[in-house]
Amino acid sequence: MSEKNLPEQLKQDATGKQITAAPQSARRKLLKSTVAIPIIMTLHSGAALARSSNLTGAEINLENAAGDDNNVFCALSEEQTEGGAYDLGDSPSYTRIPRQTDEGINKGDEDIIQECTNNGGIIISAGAFNSIGGRTGWTEL
Amino acid sequence: MADCEKNIRAEHHQLLLEAIAQPADLVNYNNQQWELLLRLARRAQLSGYLAARLEKGGMLGSIPLRAANLLHSSLIQAKKQQQSVNWELNRVIWALDGREVPLIVLKGMAYLLLDLPNAAGRIFADLDLLVSKEDLNQIESSLLEKGWQHHALTDYDERYYREWSHEIPALVHPERGVEVDVHHTLSSPLGKLKIDPLPFRKAAVRVQGKDIYVLNPEDMLLHCAVNLFQNNELADDLRHLVDFNEMLQFFIYRQPDVFQQKLIERANQLELGNPLFYSLYFSRLLLRSPVSTDLEQQLDRKPGWIARHVMHYCVPLALLPQHPDQPSKRAVLARLVLYLRSHWLRMPLYRLLPHLTYKFYLSVFPGRSTDTGHNR
Amino acid sequence: MFWKACNFSSLPVENWNGEFTVFQPESGKTHFLNEMGLKILIILDQSPASLDTLCQKLSEYFTLQPDVQFPGQIARTLQRYEALGLIARVKESE
Amino acid sequence: MKVAQLSLNELRALLVGPGLRVKAGPFNLSIRTRLPSLIRQLHSLYSRYSLVEEDEIVEFHVQVIPRRSVRRPFARLIQFEVDGRFPFPPVPLEQALATLEWGVNLVIAARINHFLLFHSAAVERNGHVLLLPAWPGSGKTTLSAMLMYHGYRLFSDEFGLMEPQSGEFYPLPRLMPLKNQSIEVVRNRLPEAMLGPEIPGTLKGTVVHICPTQASIEQSDETARPRWIVFPKWSAGAAVRLEPLPQSEAFLLLATNAFNYEVLGKTAFNAVTNLVRGCECRKLVYSDFDEALAVLNALTDG
C-alpha cells in the first residue's frame, strides 16, 4: 500500500503526527484496517473536566483569571456554543497579556480584556485553566 | 527582636509551624486539628511536603483516613508534576542534541536532581534553566525546531520579553504543556538589586552522571533567599522559607565544619547579605532553625534597625497563610506593606511614585483605567 | 546511523487482540500502537538497526510487497518515536 | 441525622455560621452561604442527605457569597469560593445552586487522586456496577436519573469513583443537573422525583436539579465491583441497539475521559486495563428510554 492511496486522515497518522485519542470512528477504522504502516497514538487526558463542567465563560473579573504574577492568560477560543460557553477544543492555545504596560503601570481590567478579545481570545478562570492544563501545574485549587 | 513568639501567636499559624517542625507528632492530632491543618497546608502549598514526610516516616497509616487520603492525593499530584518536569528536562537535553550548551538547572528541578530533603512532595510546574546570554538564541532555536512553541505572542509580548526584560518568552511543547523558562540572569533586570550571574555560573557544579549543572550549595541557598526576600511580596510563601531551611540543614549536615562559613563568605563576596540575613532570621523565628545568631552577625551587609522591626512584624503575617474562615486585618495590612516594599525594591523611585499614584487613583475611580492606562 | 529502543523491555505492554497499549514510565504517557508499531520497538530492542535493516525485517515479518514509499514512512515514524523518547539514535550497531 | 430533621431556621444558622456539614458519598462537605434563596433551596433539595457526625474531618469547605461587579453595578451576582479561591467568575444570583453543585464537582475533580476518577455515570443492579461513561451526546444524566427510578441504585451521574488497587467503585450520589429538553422528559416520566427550581441562562442552558432517591443516598456507603461498561448514545428516532465494543476502544475512551488518568500514571494504566478486562463492554444507541431499559435489564439480569 502506498501513501498516495491512503485517506487523508491516515496519511497524517502515518507521518507520525500525534493524534489525540478521541471517540472517532475514523481513527478506529484506521487502527483496525491498517497493518501495512505503523500507527502510534499517545493518549491525552485531562480535557474531560473542561468539557464536563461549564467552567469557561467570557465574562470574568481578573482577580480569579488564570495567569501568573506578570501576565493574564488569554485562551484562543475555537467557537462559541449556543449556551454562550466557549469550546476551547482539546488543547487550546494561549497568549499572554501582561498585567502592566511597558512603563510598569498596572493596566485596567477593561484594557486587558479588550486586548485579549482583540486577539480573538477569552480570559478564562484559573479553575478552567487548571483543568484544561491537564492538571500538571499552573494554578492550584 | 526578643519577643519573637508574639507575632506568631495566632493558633492556626502555630498549628502549621508545629506540623512542619515536628511531623512525628502529627499522629497525635485530633480530627479538628487535622481539618484546619489540611486547609492551611493546601493554602501554603505544603500538603505534598507534609505528605512526603509522613510517608517517609511510615506514618500515613497512623493518621485519620480522611486526612491520609487528602495528603496521599496531594503527594500523587506532586509526584506527577515532578515526573513531568523531569521528563521535560530529558526532552530539552535531547533537543539540544549534543550541542555544547552548559545548562544550569534552577529551583525545583535542581532540588529534585540532588534529591534534597525539601524535594519530596514539592509542588512545582516549570523548568527553570540558567544559561549564558550568548547561548540563549541557540537554545531557543533548537527548541523551536523540535516542536516547542512560545505561548502565542502578541507584538506587545514579544517586545516586553526581548527588549524590556532581555529574556526569551517561556517555551512550551504543546503535547506536554510544561513551561520551560530559559534565563540568563538570576533576578529581574528591572530590580534595583543587580545580580551578576557570572560568578554563579562559574561556580556551578555538574550533576553526578549527567551532562547538566546546578548551582553550588551556597549559591543555591543565596538564590532561594534572593527570590524570597528580594523579588517578591512574600504572600503565602512559607514554602520557600521551608526550602531554604531544609537545604541549609542538609548542607550543614553534609559539611559540618565549613558550610556556614562558606555561606557567609559567599554572601559577602556577592553582596547578598540582606536576603541571607532575613532568610536565616525567619528560619530561626518560624521554623526553629538551630543555626546560631552569631552567623548573620558576620555579614557585611545587614538590614537597618527600623527595617528589621518592620519585617519582624510583617513577614510572618504575610508568609503564613490566613485562617481560612477568619481573615485578619492585620495580615492584610502587613501584606500591603510588603507589597509596597517589593515594588520599592524592583522599581526606581521615579517609576514607583507614578505607579503608586496611579494605583491609588484606580482604587478611588475604578474602571477609569482606560483614560490613563495605556499611553503613558 | 542506527536506532535503538530505550528500555523497551521494562515498559508494561498490554495486548488487545493485536492492538497494544504501552505505558512509558519516564514520561508517564500511555501509547496506543498497532502491531507494526509495536514490532518496530521489539526489533530495535533486540539490537540497534539502521533504517534499511529495519524496513527489511518489517517487510519479511509482515510479508509486504515492495513499496518505494515504505522507507520514508518508517523514517517518519522513527522520528516520531524519537521525539516521544521511545527510541534513540546510536552511532554504532552495538 | 438528616438535613430534613433541621428546621429552616436551624439550617440557616448552620449555613450562615459554622457551615452545614453534610456527607457526600465518601467525602464530607461544609457549605456556607447567607443567600436566603439558596438556603431555602438547600432546605428541600439537601433534605435527604445526612449530617456529618460530630468530630469527623470535612474535606471540602465551600461558600457561595454575594459579589459586586464594577462593570455591572446593579446586577445581583454571586460567586463560588473554596478555601479562599474563586474558580468561576461571578454569575447571577439565580444560578447560585447550579454554581455550588458544579463547584463541588470541580473541587473533587481537582483535588482527589486516591481514587481514579472516571467521567462517567454509574449505577448498580444485582450487586454490580454498570458504568455509563460520558461522551458527547450521551445524555448520561437523564439516563441515570431514569434508571434510578427503575430498579437501579444511583452511584453518580458524573463520577465513576474507583479505588485503583481493589477495583471497588464508590457511590457519590449528588444532585444531578438535567438540561434543556431532558427537563420536560423527566417531569413527565418521573412525577414523583424531587426537582429543584428552573435555572435559566447558565452556560449549559436551562438547568433543573434532580435529587437522588432516598435509597440511593442511604446506601452510599455500600461499594460494589464493576461488571458492565456501556457507552450510551442518544440519537433521535434510532431503534435501540446494544452492540459489543472492542476492549481496546473501551480502554481508550475510559482513559481519555478520566479526570486524573495521567496524574495516576502507571496505577491508572493497570487499573483501567484490569477494569476493561473484567467487564462486558457495549455500545448503546437509543432514542426511547423504555427500549433502552429493556436491553440494559437483559444485560444486567445475569
Distance from CA of D255 to the nearest CA of C (A): 9
- Do D137 and D103 share a domain, yes or no? no
Instruction: Name every chain C residue with its beta carbon within 8 A of the beta carbon of A31.
Output: 19, 32, 34
- Residue C85: closest C-alpha in chain B: B91
Domains in chain C, ordered, with CATH?
2-90 (3.90.930.60)
Q: Give me the domain span that covers residue D268.
A: 116-174+212-301
> Is D49 a domain residue?
yes
Q: What is the pLDDT of residue A132?
A: 37
> Is D197 a domain residue?
no
Residues B280-303, mean pLDDT to the nearest whole number: 90
B318 touches B331 (CB < 8 A): yes
Which residues of chain C have a Cβ shorter than 8 Å from any chain A Cβ? Answer: 19, 29-37, 39-40, 62, 64, 67-69, 72-74, 76-77, 79-81, 84
Q: How far apart are CA B16 and CA A69, in angstroms?
A: 26
Least confident of A123-132, B65-74, B187-196, D36-45: A123-132
Chain A partners (3+ C-beta pairs within 8 A): B, C, D
Q: Which residues, 6+ apart, have CB-to-CB distance to C1 below 8 Å?
A: C50, C51, C89, C90, C91
Strand-strand pairing, A71-76 and A121-123: antiparallel
Residues A65-90, mean pLDDT to the nearest whole number: 47
Does position B118 have pLDDT exceeding 50, yes or no?
yes
Which CATH number characterizes residue D141's domain? Answer: 3.90.228.20
Instruction: Name every chain A residue with its beta carbon within 8 A of the beta carbon of B153.
Output: 95-96
Least confident of A80-94, B253-267, C8-22: A80-94
Does position A14 have pLDDT exceeding 60, yes or no?
no
Q: What is the pLDDT of residue A79?
A: 42
> Is D199 a domain residue?
no
Q: Dig out the grid coordinates for A27 from the structure.
A: 481513527
Exposure string for B86-98, b = 16+ CB within 10 A, e = fewer: bbbbebbeebbee
Q: What is the pLDDT of residue C83?
A: 93
User: What mean pLDDT, rounded, does chain C reach?
Assistant: 91
Does position D8 have pLDDT exceeding 60, yes or no?
yes
Q: How far apart are CA B238 and CA B70, in angstroms?
A: 20
Q: Give me the domain span that covers residue B293.
A: 4-373
> Is D180 a domain residue?
no
pLDDT band for position D104 (cuts 50, 70, 90): very high
Which 3 state secondary structure label does DSSP give A120? coil
Does position A78 have pLDDT exceeding 70, yes or no?
no
Considering D61, D91, D111, which residue would you say is the last residue of a domain?
D111
Q: Is D252 an 8 Å CB contact of chain A?
A: yes
- Do D166 and D254 share a domain, yes or no? yes
> Is D94 a domain residue?
yes
Amino acid of residue A28: R
Q: What is the pLDDT of residue D148?
A: 96
CB atoms D252 and A21 under 8 Å: yes
D74 touches A112 (CB < 8 A): no
Give the number of A-C residue pairs with CB atoms closer than 8 Å.
69
Residues B97-106, mean pLDDT to the nearest whole number: 88
Q: Dig out the grid coordinates for B266 from the structure.
A: 559567599
> Is D13 a domain residue?
yes
CB atoms A15 and C76 under 8 Å: yes
Q: Is D70 an 8 Å CB contact of chain B?
A: yes
- Do D150 and D292 share a domain, yes or no? yes
Q: How many CA atoms lie within 13 A of D174 on its CB side?
A: 26
pLDDT in tens, D184-242: 999 999 999 999 999 988 877 899 999 999 999 999 999 999 999 999 988 889 999 99
Residues B337-353, mean pLDDT to the nearest whole number: 62
- Which of D62, D67, D88, D179 should one mutate to test binding to chain A, selecting the residue with the greatest count of A CBs within 10 A? D88
Which residue blocks in D134-265 are alpha helix, DSSP H?
Answer: 140-148, 181-189, 214-218, 247-256, 261-264
Amino acid of residue B249: Q
Strand stretches in A26-109, DSSP E: 40-42, 71-76, 79-80, 86-87, 93-98
User: What mean pLDDT, rounded, does chain D reach?
Assistant: 93
Task: Measure the CA angle with vertex A78, ends A76 and A79; round to 5°.
Answer: 125
| DSSP states along B139-168 | HHHHHHHTT-EESB--HHHHHIIIIIS-SP
Q: Which residue has the higher pLDDT, A51 or D30?
A: D30
> Is D285 a domain residue?
yes
Q: How far apart are CA B148 and CA C84, in angstroms?
A: 13
Q: What is the pLDDT of residue B273?
A: 92
Give the number of A-D residue pairs with CB atoms closer than 8 Å.
117
Give the number of B-D residue pairs with CB atoms closer than 8 Å.
54
Least confident of B149-158, C4-13, C30-39, C79-88: B149-158
Which residues of chain B have a Cβ shorter than 8 Å from any chain A Cβ? Answer: 42, 45, 77, 80-81, 84, 123, 125-126, 151-154, 156-157, 159-160, 164, 169, 174-175, 177-179, 190, 232, 347, 351, 354-355, 358-359, 362, 367-370, 373-374, 376
Does position A13 have pLDDT exceeding 70, yes or no?
no
Regarding an ipTM greater than 0.90, the answer is: no
% residues pLDDT > 90 (chain B):
54
Instruction: Name every chain A residue with its beta carbon within 8 A of the beta carbon of B169.
Output: 96
> Is D72 a domain residue?
yes
Instruction: Name every chain C residue with its beta carbon within 8 A of the beta carbon of A36.
Output: 36, 62, 64
Q: How many domains does chain D have?
A: 2
CB atoms A136 and D263 under 8 Å: yes
Q: How many domains does chain B have?
A: 1
DSSP state of B131: -
Q: Which residue has the higher pLDDT, A73 or A128?
A: A73
pLDDT band for position A118 (cuts 50, 70, 90): low
Residues D89-108, mean pLDDT to the nearest whole number: 92
Considering D95, D111, D127, which residue would you say is the last residue of a domain?
D111
pTM of this structure: 0.83
Considering D64, D87, D111, which residue would you say is the last residue of a domain?
D111
